[in-house]
Amino acid sequence: MIKQNIIDALNNQVEAEAGASQLYLAMASWADSRGLEGISEFLFAHSDEERMHMLKLIRFINERGGKAIIPSLHMPKQDFQNLNEIFTMLLDHEVKVSEMINEIVDLTLSEKDYTTHNFLQWYVSEQIEEERLARIILDKLKLIGDDKGGMYLFDRDISTFNPAK
């Protein structure tokens, strides 16, 4: 059976993943309302991905004999200045999530819970990809600057971004 302190840490991660899903959903809605179809679809998909991360944690907690807690969520930010703000926030959030995952990994090692440690390795790898993708997008936005043609192409092509590359 999984120890309560690890259950608590995993449940905090459930809340973080749910919050990320909501934040990215708000970002997607903002982009969609501005005619940025490619960017909004990218962010809608990213929101779905974060929800799947949450569900994976919930199932793991319950399978190990714990009780996953479904959190209530605060309303995320709704208005953004521009895409640089959105993707900077996205990167900052992913870095924070990476730090949280690393703290849980450290806890599993100190508690000698190698099953949960092994499970979390997928999240460690996933976070590397998430951070990398956000940095790539921010680099592309810097290159584009105020070029409307560049933004049009970026919006069109963002759906082809593959974090696994």
> Residue ranges for the binding site for Fe cation?
17, 50, 53, 94, 127
CA gap 85, 138 in Å, rounded: 10
User: Which residue bears the tokens 């592309």?
Assistant: 140
DSSP string, 29-78: HHHHTTT-HHHHHHHHHHHHHHHHHHHHHHHHHHHTT--------PPPP-
Q: Binding site residues, as ranges?
A: 17, 50, 53, 94, 127
3 in Cβ contact with 119 (< 8 Å):
no
